[in-house]
Amino acid sequence: MKSPQFIQTTIAGPVGALDTLVLEHATDGAPVGIALVAHPNPTQGGTNTNKVVHTIAKVLSRLGYVAYCPNLRGVGKSEGEHDNGHGEVDDMAAVLAHAQAAHGPLPLVLAGFSFGTFVQSQLGERLGEAAVARMILIGPATSRWALPTVPASTLVVHGEEDEVVPLATVFDWARPQSLPVVVVPGSGHFFHGKLTLLADIIHTAMR
């Protein structure tokens, strides 16, 4: 298995350049799919260098996906201004178009952490369930944004002791959808000390 490194690139977005990290697939042969990973809330320091974002990308890379991790508008070197999770959906759609032009219409995984779950769940709703092979929502920010309904196959992972988004609000969102939630015992919002376990959960669910 190869050991690819994150490569910085710039992708044209709807309001300017998007500073993006790309992690090639670690498996031999052609990639099996495209993964887009969305970062946490930039107003609280969230960027594409976040450890949870990188954990998700590395797991998917080992499973054969090419992972794209953009800084959305107004974050890092990306142009534009933060739009509270609305215009950011257009940014992620532009990254998807770029990835599909580079790799073809491969199966698509939409993944996000915290604020990124709001962005990705909206993009998934826009694209339609048939266009998305799997969604991965880590620490969904259900207490701060109104996440739409997601496909039944969505992997949702949340910390038992999340101090940013109470676990109860995640169940309030998931319950009407009969959507299972994987709870990481003893974990806070940022999965400190739990990243290896988080990686194992994602890997098992995606195999």
> Please, what are the domains in the chain?
7-206 (3.40.50.1820)
Residue 2 has what pLDDT? 87
Give the pLDDT means over successive 10-residue stretches in the chain (207 positions): 94 98 96 98 96 98 98 98 97 98 97 98 97 98 96 98 98 98 98 98 96
Separation between Cα atoms, residue 198 and residue 205, nearest integer Å: 11
Among 86, 42, 84, 92, residue whose Cα is nearest residue 68: 92
* Cβ–Cβ under 8 Å, residues 159 and 188: yes
- Distance (Å, whole) CA 38 – CA 49: 11
Q: Is 99 helix (H, G, I), strand (E, B) or coil?
A: helix
Give pTM, 2 decimals.
0.97
